[in-house]
Structure 1
């Protein structure tokens, strides 16, 4: 959504590639070694070599590594939803918007599972935004209609 599909883009906060991965996500995925602060996006712990990626430049040049990271990340994010006990909110309405699995994944990717849990607990009244000011509900609704093969099936009406 933010990269325009550009695999080589780096934003002003040093998020990388087509899926705008930060250091914390890349650490969780095993691409980057933890350096004591996974949220500063300086990648100073070094790269692990996963999928042949040994630097930010390698990551940006590899569509394959970025796509593999994205698939792994979606599964990992859903496991975080389960850990935070918010997975069962899939297909429910919160704050006037339906929480689809893909919308939930989008919200967690941009703001984390804790933020999504906070949004749900507030019944959609918490004004949670990314560093550029985009509200969490924008991600929930804009990316709501993608199939997530691991996610719970929509209940029949």
Structure 2
């Protein structure tokens, strides 16, 4: 009996405490603690039809009637790498394609060796290492192509405006050597990969992003 009375007493106290918090005067709360003023929010919400960084058909949902919204990363460095990743693998860290290319950004084993990664299995199951690899490879390519970027950026070749981000995306696809051939032949030597994506296509699709975050580095390595 004493135990039951004790339980009722504890429950009553809990109810009283809950009611007290719920009925607390609104003016006593400090809403400044919950303000987002002064915080940089680096994305805005865009409707699916307005987004340009992703292929819309891959995001459609036949079972959902309401509009689909997602963060639009714009033309930032993050927008660049995520748009490229979506084209390469739909952003899947753990995928391997039919030619053996690995991960979110679809790296080949030989390219990984150039940036200091010698264990493809470890690479595939380590998203953080994959992100490091993308940046290191872009830094290395930017160093190799630094003269071509300076010479051709802003010019029109094969009907497209040449930008640094387009050059780096094309180098990710086909290697910096293929990009040099495309630029220096003024679009005549347009290499395509096994799935039909060409240097010109990547230069156009990924043009105009801000890749100033990527620093040219001859010896860039992916180190955790």
- 4+ residue runs over 4 A deviation: none
Q: Which residue of 2 aligns with 1:113?
A: 176
Unaligned runs of 5+ in 1: 33-46, 48-55, 152-157
C-alpha deviations, 1:14-45, integer Å up to 9, x for none?
A: 1110011112220110012xxxxxxxxxxxxx
Q: Which residue of 1 aligns with 2:105?
A: 19
Match of 2:148 among 86, 94, 98: 86
TM alignment of 1:25-104, pairs within 5 A:
25-32=111-118, 47=119, 56-82=120-146, 85-88=147-150, 89-104=152-167
Q: Which residue of 2 aligns with 1:38?
A: none
Q: Give the number of equivalent residue pairs.
A: 128
Equivalent position SS for 1:86: helix
Equivalent position SS for 2:212: coil
Equivalent position SS for 2:178: helix
TM-score (norm 2): 0.53
Q: Distance in 2 between matches of 1:65 and 1:127?
A: 31
Equivalent position SS for 2:103: coil
Q: Distance in 1 between matches of 2:110 and 2:182?
A: 21
Q: Which residue of 1 aligns with 2:75?
A: none
TM-fit CA distance, 1:150: 5.0
TM-fit CA distance, 1:10: 0.5
Q: Cα RMSD (Å) of the superposition?
A: 1.8
Relative contact order higher in (CA < 8 Å, ≥ 6 apart)? 2
TM-fit CA distance, 1:81: 0.5
TM-score (norm 1): 0.75
| Greater gyration radius | 2
TM-fit CA distance, 1:87: 2.1
Match of 2:203 among 122, 140, 144: 140
Q: Is the 8 A contact 2:101 2:108 kept in 1?
A: yes
